[in-house]
């Protein structure tokens, strides 16, 4: 019998990589999809098969982390072996604009899902294993290197909500004996990264500048340091946690940090561009409270899970820039042929 996995946030960056990974392992994958006025399944369209046409191992269910009834219904319908809670309003800067919504989805959404799971298991639902997407943002102002033993000092409504979700998960493990793991993941990126996160905002702009579609890139704090890895590597750690004998919490990181300035310089250089000619500060992108320095210590994950990142920082930047150069070339070709392009790069740089 194939194992059944349920993923919230399946349409996001990590959801797409995790789905590919689990399908490759022979899982039957179920994902929770939010209703949107435009299609929001771009990242998983290539692995979705119309169930009317062929036997598919990927099924989508409408639901939302703000809707406890829907969460219960999806859990009862799917009867999963593993649940991956990846759904979130995941943008730190945006969380200062919509703090209440962020808390509702990230903190209370997790509580709703855990409550549904608790009842499902209590009523004979079997030994479900649950993964919670915790974040290095929870460390906030705590000095690096950060490990599983580092106390949290969150610096945004998003991070505060993730801390609450993290502790709900720990509490449900201790109180009800549920198999629950928190993956404390440091920043991970890819060509599928949302265009308002800094790496993708930069690589999209590099492509568009190279193709003459844009000239300036407006950014905020260039001094912040992050421990950036590749999302495709990180989803394997999520799965590995749920295959252990006992549930536990793990830091997932590369152990290496770079400043935003360094990342910008490398991305522009990859396309033969001088960043100082194009990048300007826009104070709108500064945060009321910043997280200055994140650098993880992934020793526990390496020793217990046998997990190590495969893609280096230089390879990650190079892959993302190559992808976004292609995208910009397509955009320019369409423009030259007289088609209206959406100028998403420009819109993204205005919003984040």
Active site residues: 135, 137, 158
Among 56, 59, 64, 287, binds ligand NAP (CB under 6 A): 64
**Is residue 99 a contact point for ligand NAP (CB under 6 A)?**
no
**Is residue 9 a contact point for ligand NAP (CB under 6 A)?**
yes
String of b and e for 41-69 (b: at least 16 CB within 10 Å)? eebbeeeeeeeeeeebbbebbebbbeebe
Stretch of 21-29, 88-96, 275-283, 311-319 lying at the interface with ligand NAP (CB under 6 A):
88-96
| C-alpha dihedral, 220 to 226 to 229 to 234, nearest 10° | -100
Among 32, 92, 164, 328, binds ligand G4F (CB under 6 A): 92
Nearest-approach distance from CB 11 to ligand NAP, in angstroms? 4
Half-sphere exposure of 227 (CA within 13 A, CB side): 25
**Is residue 136 a contact point for ligand G4F (CB under 6 A)?**
yes
**Is residue 140 a contact point for ligand NAP (CB under 6 A)?**
no
Nearest-approach distance from CB 87 to ligand NAP, in angstroms? 3
- C-alpha span between 315 and 69 (Å, rounded): 43
Terminal CA-CA length for the chain: 45
Among 153, 194, 292, 346, binds ligand NAP (CB under 6 A): 194
**Is residue 187 a contact point for ligand NAP (CB under 6 A)?**
yes
- Phi, psi (degrees; rounded to nearest 5) at 4: -110, 125
Place of tokens 């290496």: 256
From ligand NAP, ligand G4F, none, which one binds at residue 112 (CB under 5 to 8 Å depending on kind)? none
- Containing 179, the helix (H) or strand (E) segment is strand 179-185
Among 14, 265, 324, 331, binds ligand NAP (CB under 6 A): 14
From ligand NAP, ligand G4F, none, which one binds at residue 66 (CB under 5 to 8 Å depending on kind)? ligand NAP
Tokens of 253: 């990181």
From ligand NAP, ligand G4F, none, which one binds at residue 352 (CB under 5 to 8 Å depending on kind)? ligand G4F
- Phi, psi (degrees; rounded to nearest 5) at 173: -65, -45
Which residues ranging from 181 to 220 are in contact with ligand G4F (CB under 6 A)? 186-187, 196-198, 201, 219-220
- C-alpha span between 105 and 111 (Å, rounded): 9
Among 4, 5, 6, 11, binds ligand NAP (CB under 6 A): 11
Q: Return the number of the residue (4 or 352) whose C-beta is nearest ligand G4F.
A: 352
**Is residue 33 a contact point for ligand G4F (CB under 6 A)?**
no
Q: Where are the alpha helices (DSSP H) in the chain?
A: 13-24, 68-78, 92-97, 99-102, 109-122, 157-176, 198-210, 231-242, 260-270, 299-300, 313-336, 344-351
Among 8, 11, 85, 90, binds ligand G4F (CB under 6 A): 90
Q: Return the number of the residue (61 or 278) whose C-beta is nearest ligand NAP.
A: 61
Nearest-approach distance from CB 317 to ligand NAP, in angstroms? 15
- Phi, psi (degrees; rounded to nearest 5) at 216: -110, 150
Tokens of 227: 């421990």
The site for ligand G4F (CB under 6 A) is made up of: 90, 92-93, 135-137, 186-187, 196-198, 201, 219-221, 224, 226, 260, 285, 287, 290, 294, 352
């Amino acid at each position: 019998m194939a194992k059944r996995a349920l993923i919230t946030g399946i349409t996001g960056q990590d959801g797409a990589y995790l789905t590919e990974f689990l399908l490759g392992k022979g899982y039957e994958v179920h994902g929770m999809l939010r209703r949107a006025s435009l299609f929001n399944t771009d990242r998983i369209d290539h692995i979705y098969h119309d169930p009317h046409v062929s036997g598919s191992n990927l099924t989508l269910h409408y639901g939302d982390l703000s809707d406890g009834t829907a969460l219960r219904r999806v859990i009862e319908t799917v009867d999963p072996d593993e649940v991956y809670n990846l759904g979130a309003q995941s943008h730190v800067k945006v969380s200062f604009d919509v703090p209440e919504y962020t808390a509702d989805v990230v903190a209370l959404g997790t509580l709703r899902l855990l409550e549904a799971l608790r009842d499902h298991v209590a009523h004979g639902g079997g030994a479900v294993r649950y993964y919670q997407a915790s974040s290095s943002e929870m460390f906030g102002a705590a000095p690096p290197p950060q490990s599983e033993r580092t106390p949290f000092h969150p610096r945004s409504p998003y991070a505060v909500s993730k801390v609450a979700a993290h502790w709900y998960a720990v509490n449900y493990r201790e109180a009800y004996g549920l198999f629950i793991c928190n993956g404390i993941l440091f920043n991970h990126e890819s060509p599928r990264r949302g265009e308002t996160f800094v790496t993708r905002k930069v690589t999209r702009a590099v492509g568009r500048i190279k193709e003459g579609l844009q000239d300036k890139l407006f950014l905020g704090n260039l001094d912040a340091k992050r421990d950036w890895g590749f999302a495709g590597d990180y989803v394997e750690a999520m799965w590995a946690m749920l295959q252990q004998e006992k549930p536990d919490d793990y830091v997932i990181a590369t152990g290496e940090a770079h400043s935003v300035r360094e990342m910008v310089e490398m991305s522009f250089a990859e396309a033969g561009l001088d960043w100082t000619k194009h990048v300007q500060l826009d104070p709108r992108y500064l945060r009321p409270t910043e997280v200055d320095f994140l650098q993880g210590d992934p020793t526990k994950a390496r020793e217990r899970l046998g997990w190590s990142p495969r893609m280096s920082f230089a390879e990650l930047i190079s892959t993302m820039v190559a992808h976004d150069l292609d995208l910009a070339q397509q955009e320019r070709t369409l423009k030259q042929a007289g088609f209206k392009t959406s100028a998403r790069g420009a819109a993204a740089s205005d919003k984040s």
